[in-house]
Amino acid sequence: ESARSTAGAESSGGGAGPIKSVTDPGDLTGLGIAVNEFLHRWHGTDGRTVVCFHSLTAMFQYAELETAYEFLHVLTGRMYATDATVHFHMNPQAHDELTVEAVTTLVDAVVELDEDGGTTVRSR
């Protein structure tokens, strides 16, 4: 499941599972409803549920840090409760250190991409 801040459509993403896009990255209520619909539909099925947010950078352009943090905190709790995995994409260079650190507190690991294409993984 991918919730992106583009056109409001659902498609089958070519084997990767359905993709649900949202038209307004600042509409956290609508985004939460869309994610919860899929989590409810998939909870208890045989498959593994993975949710991808691409990108938190867009969301933070439209939502204040406190509001976005509360939304992400509730969302990560919902993921845990339904045994789903979520990963967030974020451009750390587009945000201040407080925003990056706030998001870091919500996740188990941070994967940073190096300029040469390598990765660094930091786990809590």
Task: Provide the CATH number for the domain around residue 8.
Answer: 3.40.50.300
Phi and psi at residue 91, to the nearest 5°: -90, 100
Q: Residue 5's pLDDT is what?
A: 30
H helix and E strand count, the chain: 4, 7
pTM, two decimals, is 0.79
| Averaged pLDDT, 5-26 | 58
Q: Residue 92's pLDDT is what?
A: 92
Q: Residue 15's pLDDT is what?
A: 55
Q: Residue 16's pLDDT is what?
A: 64
2 beta partners: 52
Q: Are 35 and 3 in contact (CB under 8 A)?
A: yes
Q: Which domain holds residue 116?
A: 2-123
Per the structure, the count of domains in the chain is 1
What is the tens place of the pLDDT at every residue in 34-68? 899 988 888 888 888 888 888 899 899 999 999 99
